[in-house]
Structure 1
């Protein structure tokens, strides 16, 4: 997961600050030194780091903050706000034409994931706007580039206009644009040729395509794992093409986060989307404020809620809430919930969106193997209908039978049943809005401290309100 190293370093610096009853200028200098080192280690542009540290120090210095109420919390708030500002303050929507089609031109180096990202964007437009996009295959150089685009397009049921590899790309775009107008496609997504490095000849071709198509968006796809190179690539393309935005790919990989924190500040161009997975649905709008919260280990409840709304069946969710409240949640419901959660992505990534969980000791190095989820399912599938509906009947002999049926050790069966019981208690606390009992059950260590508790209480209130309105 991206930013783990940066999150840990920044969280450690903030934790040291919070432990101090008062905060002096010397404490602030030490904190800013640690923040500076953390950002540089994350491969953030040196000038961006320098400006960021200067801004935070200027806002945090002086009696108003250092001698005020909760100075450490105020400094954390300032760091959060400056991180958000560095990445662009707010999400930036796609530019849309007053008349169809809206033209989106994709650009980028080879290997950044441009063609796959074009597919993800087309699917997002189909799902969210009921749009009718069309691809134009303008990469005639890379072997099998057109075949790859057609495979991606087929998987999401989007048409491709192509004239093979022997026609000039500018002519392909000209004819493709005419077909899109004739067919009344809402969007045209032009998949241009990638390159191993910024090349004058091919860059000239991109300029000619842009002059012809007059795109509403020129989106540069960059690999977040390349760090500072991603920023240099963005500068190089922007000098020639006048980009309108950037899409960061592989943000779920082993990346230190430097590209995300540097691109907007260096180029002035917004990050519009981020790719965080291999599925065609794994393309998200980039929200600077939410990313800043995640970097600081504060979680990302809004994105988590949006994912839940997107992937959860509303009627099924309402029934589950009723069962949680009545404490009648059983293993049948548990199976349904597992399948719903799996749709949202890797469990460790989902958990880290909860305030305080990103750097919680219990989450340290957590890596939920998908096979573990399948093992749990196998244990539940081995249960009789009575056992699923009445977990209390699972005595030792029945558990041994489950272990044999699922091909899992008895200790694993016992652990799963115990965790299921604990989860039921937690669910009842959340659904009833009684967070005090839940906090005691967790040993008084509510994830994220006060912020985590406030977020969880807010969710509980929303649950109660939805029930009342429903």
Structure 2
């Protein structure tokens, strides 16, 4: 996420790091590099210029030239200004209606239908709502099918009327269906349209007028950069939408849209899409995003995701097994499944301060655990419960069955043994022993 921008901003700020004495020339040079980094990330020139002027003004106003750690002060100023530029505070979603109506708008291919499903899944699981998805794309039959597939995947009902070519009538009938069936949120998925297509823009304006939604959200592909911002402005002129959703933030995103869209349309980014899975949706926190852009990670979001996936009952069972020295590969596998549910691996790594930068260029994908799972699945239930039984011939069979090498099987066993020892040590008064071990390792 924003790898190139993070890299360039880091280089720009590096000018001020480690210097005992800083001159106005150093500050000017840093500002110039920050502006260049923003322009390369496809941020509008006017916004980039205003941003760097504010940073320069604040830096000089806070005696950055005489400060003992001017580099750190400059990073803080840039972080604060980035946070402000992206909206300052996180904005919630209005669910005050009965039912609450959410109208989704956006360009063709922006990921609107998929995100409608993600939003329904989020509201169902995290806000304990009963959502209804309404298929109002009457131009693309595959869109209706897609929404039904998404609805089935997340266990949310989808309302559609394939014989009807009037999206306004379908939207109104969908809301009526929601009222009759106890659904308290209606998410209306509309056809993708071009801002220059006057007829299509009039159509969505008519849907908007007919259903008077609590929330009108504009879905935009963050990989389109400055074009996304211009499109948002055209849609806002017609719909006066309430918020922006940025999709595909897990891709090779330059970051221009995230940084400048709030400034152009004066509407907050409410949610972001960070992967293909239905759970890959996050509330947009400007401060946390600024931290990530500057390579500081996002431990708050990481902890939140971990807490969401934490299974207290399972944790108790594993604790008992560790105490009795019966922690096996099935338990290890269940821990891996919980980590995988937390989201895209590259995204998770980027949340740990310094790790994203250290792993730059490395290929990290959702299949990071695939070979471990293959090895474990090639073991018999008895071997998974009793890893000590794994002798040379069994290891050879497991390696063949999983398509991995003997070395990889041995490596996994070694990692498993180390983890088991550490978990056992942490059980009863092992904290002191662990501290001693760490001190001895220095």
TM-score, with structure 1 as normaliser: 0.83
Query: Retained in 2: the 8 A contact 1:217–1:244?
Result: yes
Instruction: Provide the residue aligned with 1:216 in structure 2.
Output: 214
Deviations 1:139-172 (A, max 9, x none): 2122433222222223223333333354422222
Query: Retained in 2: the 8 A contact 1:346–1:368?
Result: no
Q: Secondary structure at 1:18's aligned position in 2?
A: coil
Q: CA deviation at 1:329?
A: 6.5
How far apart, in 2, do the equivalents of 1:147 and 1:209 lie? 21
Instruction: Answer with 286-295 or 55-64: which moved more.
Output: 55-64
Instruction: Provide the residue aligned with 1:38 in structure 2.
Output: 37
Q: Secondary structure at 2:64's aligned position in 1?
A: helix
Instruction: Answer with 161-170 or 32-41: which moved more.
Output: 161-170
Instruction: Provide the residue aligned with 1:410 in structure 2.
Output: 406
Q: Secondary structure at 2:7's aligned position in 1?
A: helix
- The 3 A distance-change label for structure 1 pair 160 and 417 is closer
Deviations 1:362-405 (A, max 9, x none): x1322235555232233345567887678788777775565345
Query: Retained in 1: the 8 A contact 2:101–2:214?
Result: yes
Q: How many residues align?
A: 438
Instruction: Provide the residue aligned with 1:303 in structure 2.
Output: 301
Matches within 5 A, 1:36-185: 36-62=35-61, 64-97=63-96, 99-185=97-183
- The 3 A distance-change label for structure 1 pair 429 and 364 is farther
Instruction: Provide the residue aligned with 1:20 in structure 2.
Output: 19
Does residue 1:376 correspond to 2:409, yes or no? no
How far apart, in 2, do the equivalents of 1:288 and 1:207 lie? 30
Instruction: Provide the residue aligned with 1:459 in structure 2.
Output: none
How far apart, in 2, do the equivalents of 1:375 and 1:198 lie? 49
Q: CA deviation at 1:425?
A: 7.7
Deviations 1:190-212 (A, max 9, x none): 12221144311111111122112
- The 3 A distance-change label for structure 1 pair 438 and 320 is farther
- The 3 A distance-change label for structure 1 pair 356 and 426 is farther
Q: Secondary structure at 1:44's aligned position in 2?
A: coil
Q: CA deviation at 1:46?
A: 1.4
Q: CA deviation at 1:9?
A: 1.6
Instruction: Provide the residue aligned with 2:261 in structure 1.
Output: 263
How far apart, in 1, do the equivalents of 2:190 and 2:366 lie? 36
Please list every run of 5 or more consecutive structure 2 residues that lacks an aligned counterpart in the other structure: none
How far apart, in 1, do the equivalents of 2:381 and 2:364 lie? 28
Query: Retained in 1: the 8 A contact 2:274–2:347?
Result: no
Q: CA deviation at 1:342?
A: 1.6
Query: Retained in 2: the 8 A contact 1:101–1:188?
Result: yes
Matches within 5 A, 1:361-440: 363-368=359-364, 373-381=369-377, 400=396, 402-404=398-400, 406-420=402-416, 432=431
Q: CA deviation at 1:136?
A: 2.6
Q: Secondary structure at 2:63's aligned position in 1?
A: helix
- The 3 A distance-change label for structure 1 pair 183 and 407 is closer
Query: Retained in 2: the 8 A contact 1:399–1:413?
Result: yes
Q: Secondary structure at 1:246's aligned position in 2?
A: strand
Q: CA deviation at 1:266?
A: 1.1
Deviations 1:251-303 (A, max 9, x none): 11121111111111111111101111111221111111111111111111111
Q: CA deviation at 1:310?
A: 1.4
How far apart, in 2, do the equivalents of 1:94 and 1:230 lie? 22
Q: CA deviation at 1:326?
A: 11
- The 3 A distance-change label for structure 1 pair 160 and 419 is closer
